[in-house]
Amino acid sequence: MADKSEVWQGTLALMVLRTLKTMGPLHGYGIARRIEQTSGDALAVNYGTLYPALLKLEQEGYIAAEWGVSDNNRRARYYRLTRAGRKQLEREQRGWEQMSAILARFLTPEKGSI
């Protein structure tokens, strides 16, 4: 099995916001697992990076958090997307779509070249 790649800098917030939009409220472990599953287990989420990112998103008002109980009966902090987070997700998605289109131009061979 190939080694898992780390999440690219600048993409984690987008993946967290998208995960919460798709799945609804989740705790940190659930968010990490969903990102890994969505990537086909090609990505590894570093918890030392995830939790500071969640804190930053919460401070910016893009997500809200509250304490709850996980499936295995442990206390866990659940995160949910806010209205501001939905708008930020749209902005970030547009930005990444534009950047992907630009990169595709560089990676597509020019006609007539080998």
The per-residue pLDDT for range 83-94, each reduced to its tens digit, is 999 999 999 999
> For residue 88, what is the DSSP state?
H
What are the chain's domains?
5-107 (1.10.10.10)
Cβ burial of 67 (10 Å; 0-12, 13-18, 19+) is exposed
The closest alpha carbon to 12, from 45, 38, 48, 61, belongs to 45
Side chain identity, residue 99: M
| Amino acid code (one letter) for 48 | G
- pLDDT tier at 2 (50, 70, 90 boundaries)? low
Confidence at 5, pLDDT banded by 50, 70, 90: confident
Q: Which of 4-13, 14-23, 44-53, 96-105 is the least confident region? A: 4-13
Instruction: Give the position of tokens 């709850």.
Output: 68
